[in-house]
Amino acid sequence: MTNWLIASNNKYKTQDLIKCLAFYGVQAVPYTDQLAKLTFPAEQTVSYAGNALRKAQFLAGKTNQGVIADDSGIEIAALGNHLGVTTKRELHRDTVHSDNQTILNDLKGQTDRRATMISTLAAVTPGQAPLTVTGRIDGTIATRTRGNYSTGFDKLFILPNQQRTLAELPDEMRIPLTHRGRAAKQLAAELRGV
Active-site residue list: 71
Looking only at Cα atoms, what is the longest distance across the chain? 53
CA 157, CA 169: separation in Å to the nearest integer?
Answer: 11
CA angle at 53 for the pair 43 and 123, rounded to the nearest 5°: 140
SS3 146: coil
CA angle at 168 for the pair 22 and 189, rounded to the nearest 5°: 25
- Main-chain dihedrals φ then ψ at residue 48, nearest 5 degrees: -60, -45
